[in-house]
């Protein structure tokens, strides 16, 4: 019973994450997300200067896209019990679909860089939760 309950809880959390992800990726928040990346750039460049000189606002957007998709890769590996590369491929396909939709039908800009960042994030998440084989 405990294992089944834990699995249901994991599916519920995954569903909530996916709904939030879809809302974030398809909603009209483009300007707010740009403000966030510029705000992070300003903070880490001037207020708390730890960022390298070459880091520009679009680099922060790339990192945010990577971080946003780490949970997706983890969720896909754990809940579907598929290998890391399947989870990564599914994230690539899903991200591509979202970016195409953003470019064609939504008031957003679809970007190949976002697909790369999203897929990289999913890969990291999938690899983090992929069981390691024991040698010996």
State pLDDT tens for residues 87-111.
999 999 999 999 999 888 887 888 9
Phi, psi of 21 (to 5 degrees): -65, -45
Instruction: Report, as an integer, the average pLDDT of 30-52.
Output: 92
CB 118 within 8 A of CB 91: yes
What CA–CA distance (Å, rounded) separates 90 from 119? Answer: 9
Instruction: Report, as an integer, the average pLDDT of 66-80.
Output: 93
Question: Has residue 118 been placed in a domain?
Answer: yes
Question: Has residue 136 been placed in a domain?
Answer: no
Phi, psi of 133 (to 5 degrees): -80, 135
* Nearest residue to 122 (alpha-carbon basis) of 62, 65, 60, 81: 65
What H or E segment, with its residue span, contains residue 47?
none
State residue 41's pLDDT score.
95
Question: Has residue 76 been placed in a domain?
Answer: yes
Question: Tens of pLDDT along 47-62?
Answer: 999 999 999 999 999 9
Question: Has residue 135 been placed in a domain?
Answer: no
């Amino acid at each position: 019973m405990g294992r089944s309950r834990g699995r249901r809880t994991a599916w519920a959390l995954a569903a909530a994450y996916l709904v939030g992800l879809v809302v974030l990726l398809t909603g009209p928040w483009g300007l707010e997300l740009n403000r966030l990346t510029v705000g992070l750039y300003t903070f880490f460049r001037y207020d708390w200067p730890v960022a390298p000189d070459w880091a520009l606002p679009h680099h922060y957007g790339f990192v945010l896209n990577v971080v946003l998709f780490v949970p997706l890769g983890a969720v896909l590996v754990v809940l579907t019990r598929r290998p890391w590369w399947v989870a990564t491929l599914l994230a690539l396909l899903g991200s591509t679909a979202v970016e195409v939709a953003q470019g064609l039908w939504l008031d957003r800009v679809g970007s190949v860089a976002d697909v790369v960042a999203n897929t990289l994030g999913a890969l990291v998440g999938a690899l983090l939760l992929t069981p390691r084989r024991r040698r010996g």
